[in-house]
Amino acid sequence: MSARTQRAAADAAHPAIEWDMRVPLATNRRIVGDMALACGLGAVIAFLFVAVVLGAQGEWRSLKPLAIGFGAAGAGFFVLGVLVMLVVFGNRMTMRFRVDAEGAVASTVDRRARVANRLAIVAGVLARKPSVAGAGLIAAGTEKAATRWTGVRRAVFDPGARRIGLRNRWRTVIVLYCTPENYEAVAAAVRAHLAAVPDAKRPERGSPIPALLGWTVAVVAASIPTMTLPWPLTLDLLAPMILLAFAVATVWLIPLFGYVVMATAAYLVFEVVSAGLVMRRNQFTGRMYSGFDSLDGGEWVAVGLFAAGLAFLVWFSLRAVRGRIRSALTGDAEEADRPA
């Protein structure tokens, strides 16, 4: 039987199934585990971001209290999230699911959740809290998740909890929460639709995480020299932090952030060259000299590392915006929407 015939047979035997489900929240081990992971990773990533800056400045003693602070913040956000699930949502959120010949869709139809996401965006903007607005934007962007069957590497069935996880190369993209009445029918449909997809059409085997982590380490290492330039070329830390943040975001989120990296790199070059060309008078000899004239051999090495780091970041950003390097989010989106 050809792949097309097998697909047509699966479509005919398993018509579209659509249902609403009041999904448990605080008593759902998967949701609570995912939230704990998100809060933990958020705290770790934020700590590492600041730690890179402090470490580049030699402020090693500040790292321990900083780690404690970020750990406490992550735990606080987790506890707050559980309380919101219990108090605001009553431990339930209404979601709508659909499984058909094209793929699977999970949508949040709970009005309270949709309103809360938009209020978070507005509150974050009005209070000038980018983290709050960003969290609202992320939540609003995930109100609907969809994938074609060609974007699913495998399905994980949990009959006890009546849920089915659809995974791509490295993570679960959709969890289908089923009712006691329709679990078997949904599971059979998922198995049939996945079986009808040729292996060559599915996402590649192997996780992209090692490559993504490799690029992350590379862009972080390339950003560090921007924070260690000698006087009088020393830069204000804001621009190097922006460079680092958007370089990492280019790896994991949107390749177009590479344009911000390139613009910031150009600004840093302008700042360093301007500082290096400023003329000063030696108070003892009266001789005029530039910032570049005052550098010794070791300091010129630091300038060379700065130039090499920026050159790498510009090269990386150009490849990213041209589609030669895929971010984690872009790779997921392309796989989820891959035509049959």
pLDDT for the residue 114:
62
pLDDT for the residue 226:
96
| Distance separating the N- and C-terminal Cα atoms of the chain | 17
Q: What SS3 state is found at 106?
A: strand
Alpha carbon of residue 15 to chain centroid: 35
Task: Look up the CATH number of domain 1-23+91-204.
Answer: 2.30.29
Do the Cβ atoms of 151 and 103 come closer than 8 Å? yes
* Beta-ladder partners of 18: 98
Q: Please write the tens of the pLDDT for every residue from 263-300.
A: 999 999 999 999 999 888 877 777 887 889 889 889 99
pLDDT for the residue 248:
95
Alpha carbon of residue 62 to chain centroid: 27
Mean of per-residue pLDDT scores for the chain: 86
Amino acid at 135: A
pLDDT for the residue 127:
52
pLDDT for the residue 45:
87
Taking the C-alpha atoms of residue 252 and residue 263, their distance in angstroms, rounded to an integer, is 19
Do the Cβ atoms of 327 and 255 come closer than 8 Å? yes
The whole-model pTM stands at 0.83
pLDDT for the residue 163:
96
pLDDT for the residue 35:
86
Q: Which residues of the chain have pLDDT under 50?
A: 131-134, 136, 140
pLDDT for the residue 161:
92
Taking the C-alpha atoms of residue 256 and residue 260, their distance in angstroms, rounded to an integer, is 8
pLDDT for the residue 133:
45
Taking the C-alpha atoms of residue 241 and residue 52, their distance in angstroms, rounded to an integer, is 10
Burial 321-338 (b: 16+ CB within 10 A, else e): beeebbbbebbbeebbeb
Q: C-alpha angle 270/272/273, rounded to 5°? A: 65
Amino acid at 105: V
Do the Cβ atoms of 314 and 246 come closer than 8 Å? no
Residue extents of the structural domains in the chain: 1-23+91-204, 26-88, 209-336
Taking the C-alpha atoms of residue 123 and residue 135, their distance in angstroms, rounded to an integer, is 11
